Chains A and B, each alone.
Chain A
Amino acid sequence: MTAPSDEREISTSSIVVASKDQVSSDLAGETVLLSMQSAMYYGLDQVGSRIWELVREPIRVSDLRDAIMREYDVEAESCEADVLAFLRELVANGLIEVRIAT
């Protein structure tokens, strides 16, 4: 069971998923996103694109962090901080939804 949340509450136990109010496309390893709410375009680099790929289906932030750590050469602490910061940015722009696992 999950309950809606907002970006300030994102933690490693949160579950995140891509918002329905966006469309996206791959562009040679990077991603272009269009928010239908704000009509703004966004670009994601390679790592951001990988995270985006993972949040297309609901995923727990800790699982997402672990997946990134497995795939990229990165310290656990900085990985978690970077992932959380990136997710907060996505939430702030209405590109993902956050749920707190209950």
Chain B
Amino acid sequence: MKAGRKLPRSTISSVRVTSRSSLSSEIQLLLLTAAASPNDAALRNVLSAGINWQRLCALAAHEKAASVLLRQLGRVGVDAGTSGYQDLRQLATISVMQMLQLEQLLHQTVDILAKQEIEVLLLKGAGLAYTAYSSFADRPMGDLDLLVRPQHANRAWSLLQTRGWKLPEAQGGVDRFTGHHHLPPLFHESGASRLEIHENLLPGEHPFVFSTVAFWERAKRVTANGQVFIVPNSMHQLWHVCVHFAWSHAMQWGSWRTLRDSAAIIRHGGFDWTEFASLARDTRAATCCFWTLRLTRSLAGADVPDHVLASLRPPYPEFIIERLERHFVSSLFPSEDRCPSVWVTRWLWEAGIAPRWSKHGAARPWQVTERWMAGSGPAESERAGGHTLAGWFRKIGAGAAYLLRVSRLSLPVNS
């Protein structure tokens, strides 16, 4: 059968891409695909400037973005014969297969728990896949995060270990997870699919005044492939995305998915911005929400109202905010341009999140990481640099060079 159909032309909306941006072409391309309505003309512009496909594939694999990236590039007519494109296609195919399998396992797992009258609320990727996105596979994820009522957590976790989910022996002691927000991850016997049974949204040491019960109270039911699922409401999803990224991931990991998720939730709507801003402030998450939303607006073109950002921003003049934003943008993805100093990175994170102003007390995200590292090598802060005078000078020099470099970074890349 011969295909004689001409593909319809994509609609091009207004375009504004700075040519001065010093982010790599590959990162710019990735950021463009995070938008709820990717800008085809901007994608073509970046592509025409030349792409290092190897770097792009590595970035796509790191961010689990391969299938989305491939779809967007296919839409703007990238030459499918390019070997780099074929590599990306291979990554995307594997990713889609994994998502299809994960979806199948999700359905089975929720069904198993429902039969034991254990209610499940789909957190993060799975919840977003069935609300902000059109399909499960459209929201790539590494694992399933299922929230259950605290009194059901151990029963659910034990039950699933009799139904194909296994606790790897190499995982370390189960005691390590005491007080953690989820039980030790389980892996499915059919492959590498991973599942976490959550009792709470965030690790115990978090500084936010927030009750998981509120998530349950305002959760909603959605139907997917004939099965009913409980998912958080859109406002709570956005709050969780913001806090998870800005606090738990210190604005350095899961960046592409965060920007894309926030943009998708905002585009999907179904929440009131004023109520969201109140929630963010009341829960001490104002600055976390501010930075995630500001980055989503500037990098993924999301429609975040000015008054919302104004009500969440830390108490700094705009030029300070702009400089901090440049640093956070440069830290989003693995690159040689990232800040080389752990100390400077933490200092800048604290400057942005303003823990004292936010009433966070002494809680910091890296304390959680360091607690996990305990017993498996030196703490991150100790590895970050030597304690010699020369070591301190090297750190100060690298940090200063970075601050100078980042001050020249141009923004935005997608608006």
Partner-B contacts on A (CB < 8 A): 20, 23-29, 32-34, 36, 39, 41, 43, 46-47, 68, 71-74, 78-79, 82
Contacts and interface: CB of A to CB of B under 8 A. Distances in A.
Contact of B3 (A23, A34, A46): A46
A39 B190 contact: yes
Contacts of B103: 23
A27 B70 contact: yes
B100 interface: yes
Residue of A27, A39, A47 contacting most chain B CB atoms (<10 Å) = A27
B195 interface: no
A16 to B, nearest CB: 17
Given A20-B226, A28-B71, A71-B5, A41 B100 contact: yes
B93 A32 contact: yes
A72 to B, nearest CB: 5
Interface in B1-24: 1-5
Contacts of B137: 23, 25-26
B130 interface: no
Nearest to A33: B100
A54 to B, nearest CB: 14
A27 B71 contact: yes
A23 B96 contact: no
Contacts of B5: 71-72
B255 interface: no
Given A25-B136, A72-B2, 4 more contacts: A27-B93, A41-B97, A72-B1, A74-B2
Contacts of B92: 27-28
Interface in B82-126: 89, 92-93, 96-97, 99-101, 103-104
Contacts of B335: none
Contacts of A41: 97, 100
B225 interface: yes
Given A20-B226, A23-B104, A79 B1 contact: yes
A94 to B, nearest CB: 14
Given A46-B3, A72-B2, A72-B3, A34 B104 contact: yes
A34 B92 CA distance: 15
Contacts of B138: 25
A18 to B, nearest CB: 11
Contacts of B100: 23-25, 32-34, 41
Contacts of B330: none
A28 B67 CA distance: 8
Nearest to A21: B104
B1 A27 contact: no
B81 to A, nearest CB: 13
Contacts of B225: 20, 23
A27 B96 contact: yes
Interface string B60-74: 000000010011011
A50 to B, nearest CB: 9
B369 interface: no
A78 B1 contact: yes
A32 B138 CA distance: 13
10 contacts: A26-B71, A27-B71, A28-B74, A28-B92, A34-B100, A41-B100, A68-B1, A72-B4, A72-B5, A73-B4
Contacts of B75: 28
Contact of B89 (A25, A28, A78): A28
B77 to A, nearest CB: 11
- Shortest 4 CB-CB contacts between residues of A and residues of B: A73-B4, A28-B74, A25-B137, A34-B100
Interface in B159-189: none
Given A20-B225, A32-B100, A27 B67 contact: yes
B1 A47 contact: yes
Contacts of B99: 25
Most chain B beta-carbon contacts within 10 A, residue among A23, A29, A41, A79: A23
Contacts of B190: 39
A34 B98 CA distance: 10
Contacts of A20: 225-226
A30 B327 CA distance: 39
B97 A32 contact: yes
With a 10 A CB-CB cut-off, give which of A28, A29, A47 has the most chain B CB atoms: A28
Given A23-B225, A25-B137, A82 B1 contact: yes
B322 to A, nearest CB: 37
A27 B100 CA distance: 12
Contacts of B67: 25, 27
